[in-house]
Amino acid sequence: MIPAPYLLYIGRSVDAVAIKTSRGLATFRPKDCVGEFRHDNCPLTLGLPRLGMAEAVAAGARTLVLGIANPGGTFEQHLIEDAEAALHAGMNVAAGLHQRLRDQQRLASLAREQKLQLFDVRDRPADPVVGTGYPRPGHRLLTVGTDCSTGKMYAALALTSAMRERGLAADFRATGQTGILIAGAGVPVDAVIADFISGAIEQLAPARSDGGWDVVEGQGSLFHPSFAGVSTGLLHGAQPEAIVICHDPDRTDMRGLRGRALPDLAECLEQNLNVGRLTSPNIRAVGICLNTSQMDAVSARRLCERTEDRLGVPCTDPIAFGVENIVDELLCTVP
């Protein structure tokens, strides 16, 4: 386990989506977050106290979490310098980038000298297996999306919480760096070798006989040329009986691919069902989650209602309005 409390890193970020890991921790583990670290030229904030490294240690922080996501998941020079400052101040450092903290010689040497730890969240499973697609007992739900960073983790966590409040056994299964940091366990599926993606998810959400649910966090999109492979492996490995599709109605271009439009919701929903039928012939859609954070409440409600009428599936914003309507739909059709 990564020692808490945390100092959440924003650094020099100017893209609100790029700090989604820090934001996720601030949202779902607020009691473990003492503050945020950002430079003077950073326009973003999590609404936490802005602290320097020494101030954070004085406030009780034990780990600096480099909770950002940049293209390719690489360590830029300023990231290394800020991580060094954290180590000098007496904090461990955690990151979920594709490049590893432990492979940065300066950081590894300093951590040893300071008797501190480096935590690389995106470590792939040590003993990967190839997926089989054979039917296995248990209820599983997977969140999917029209694009990257459309709220799949938020929806999965909200659904897990709502199901537990109804007395159901439900477990959130993390597949990305943010989810793993929140849950404390999971599989960073985008770091898994392609041949083993479906097998890794079969292990993450194995057979269960208690009548409970595994709520699997989705990644990427079948319509994103860069990440559709991961999305496909997740669908086949999760073998979900139900999917919930997540969408940002304010977004016009696929993330990182300017000029490539997002797919139509109906088309994306049907394609996910088609791909999912390979390992889950009776897969069904039970909900749509929209990110309406840039809209007023009345407009957001109307959009959810129009979307629900158009597609015939319950629609909501999980943060603004909850997910009770989706849970109702899910449970009324459980075999």
CB-based contact 73:98 (threshold 8 Å): yes
Are 181 and 96 contacting, i.e. CB atoms less than 8 angstroms apart?
yes
Phi, psi angles (nearest 5°) of residue 79:
-65, -45
Residues of the chain with pLDDT under 50: none
Whole-model pTM: value is 0.91
What is residue 98's predicted lDDT score, i.e. its pLDDT? Answer: 85
Summarize pLDDT for 85-133 with one digit per residue, the tens: 999 999 999 998 888 999 999 999 999 999 999 999 988 888 889 999 9
Domains and their CATH numbers in the chain: 6-120 (3.40.50.720), 139-332 (3.40.50.300)
Over the chain, what HEC string results?
Answer: CCCCCEEEEEECCCCHHHHHHHHHHHHHCHHHEEEEEECCCCCCCCCCCECCHHHHHHCCCCEEEECCCCCCCCCCHHHHHHHHHHHHHCCEEEECCCCCHHHCHHHHHHHHHHCCCEEECCCCCCCCCCCCCCCCCCEEEEEEECCCCCCHHHHHHHHHHHHHHCCCCEEEECCCHHHHHHHCCCCCHHHCCHHHHHHHHHHHCCCCCCCCEEEECCCCCCCCCCCHHHHHHHHHHHCCCEEEEEECCCCCEECCEEEEECCCHHHHHHHHHHHHCCCCCCCEEEEEEECCCCCCHHHHHHHHHHHHHHHCCCEECCCCCCCHHHHHHHHHCCC
Asked if the peptide bond before residue 49 counts as cis, ω within 30 degrees of 0, the response is no
pLDDT at 42: 94
User: Residue 334 has what pLDDT?
Assistant: 67
Backbone angles phi, psi at 93, to 5 degrees: -130, 135
